A and B are shown apart, each in its own frame.
Chain A
Amino acid sequence: MTATTALSAPPAPVRPAAGRSPAPAARRRAVLHWIAVHTVAVAAALFFVLPFVFVFLTSVMSDEQAMSGTLWPTEWNWSNYAEVFHTPGFLDWWRNSLMYAGLGTLFTVCSSVPVAYALARFRFRGRRTAMLLVISTMMLPPQVVVIPMYLVWAQQFHLSGSLWPLIIPMAFGDAYSIFLLRQFLLTIPREYLESAKVDGCGDVRTLLRIVVPMAKPGIAAVALFQFFYCWNDYFGPQIYAAQNPGAWTLSYGLESFKSAHSVNWNLTMAATLLVMAPVIIVFFFAQKAFVEGVTLTGVKG
């Protein structure tokens, strides 16, 4: 399982020296322990995996069978997936999701790296206060400031009905990304930056030539988190894009898809899997960066 080894492997258990078998009683206890642990593990795995299995099985059923409440498909209708893609709007939702997530991630990373670098490495008055404010913003429920923001975007800029009110703010730093990047940049030894200065590197060049290459894992983690955040976002598109189906994202459109196909659970489940697929595929390609990021939020620091 090369794809999964990245989820930090625990240290190998200490085995008794070869050739000297342990006492039978201890051995039997170890076997019983193994059986107990793995029985629980299989039960837990069923809880986590079965929903995916049922969703998939339903997604290939015929319309009639999906209404009958049986578990195993009698015939495999792969055409359900084609039908989902041919639903009016579905491809637009894909395009909008990619645009929101792609541009949002790009803007966030470009605007957050210099801020995080300054917070991690520059000495200035008010640095502690700035960090406190970043963390406060991070904790703030998005609903708290949404009403005045919506009024500005809708009344002054006439941008409601599009995703731009969600994308543009990301060019001005994202608190969560700044926080994570700062935590990561703190791990870069100061000596590297000092030697760059001695070599005559300016601050911007130090950032681009030394800091960014060294912080690649941290930047990758932040980029992934932001991509997933945008891809999964429901509240934002609901506020700004709801009145214009041409601007809907997959996460927002999926719900209306269910309403339009209220009895066709099979098509809804196919659409559900198609919304899940990109994040899961991205995860398998970038697992290491992702798990590192999750760990960074909680453990380091």
Chain B
Amino acid sequence: MSNQSVGGVAPSGFRLMLLRSARALRTPMPYLAFIGIGLWLGIYFLFNEYWKLFPFYKIPGPVEVVTEWVSRDPIWGTSLFTEDYYRNIWVSCRRIGIAFALATGLGVPLGLFMGWSQKFKDYTFPVLETLRPIPILAWVPLAIVMFAGFETPIIYLATLASFFVTALNTMLGVESIDESYFRAAGCLGSKKHHVFFHVVVPGALPFIFTGLQISIGVAWFSLVAAEMISGDYGLGYMIMDSYMVNKYTTMVMAMLTLGFVGWTTSAMVRVAGNRMMQYRQKALGQGGV
């Protein structure tokens, strides 16, 4: 049988993961990422620092940025060795964490109920569809009027943007579940709440996680926009602040940091999704994560 190991006891758990990682390192796959990044850095270096092409020369190149980034005594005051840098990352991450948790905690149940009950959808969908197209920037004044300080309006905006995406995707997820699963559950004697927890929730999960991947991106987008408009700390604020005082090196550093942090958070959502939907992984013939 193809799904059993040849000879001896099949490795499992952590050991299996290590073995698979070791095998993956022998394929070209992981190195392609490095080549890609290398090429991009090369072009960036040539355009901005070496040839100094218009309009790229106005922005600091990779050598300058990296030098500043790893400097113990940064010229513009922010680097891997200053507390300031980590404080900005931490503040943004905390805000994202709160906003994402709130949006998921509210959006997923709302979406599930909307997909599950036509009546509930009839009540709620028109409201959602009226509010959803309003761009997040249009909510900024309202957020400032409603909430005092920096923290609450920023979290409010990020939550709002992320919430709409999550609710809508979850609803679509429930609607995408094949009718035959409901029928099978029905004739196997499931009660209504069984159907909800054993068909609606697991059936919508793939869509929910697609939605969460998008929603964490949207959360970052609105968070940074909000931080740029009004903020005291955070990566968005760091970008805007360094721009205002012509610290372009710090600005690029903040942008790249934002890229890395954003990538990490969506990878975390992806990993969580894969862990919760092992059956999809197995069906693809892959082992976990």
Asked if A and B bind, the verdict is: no
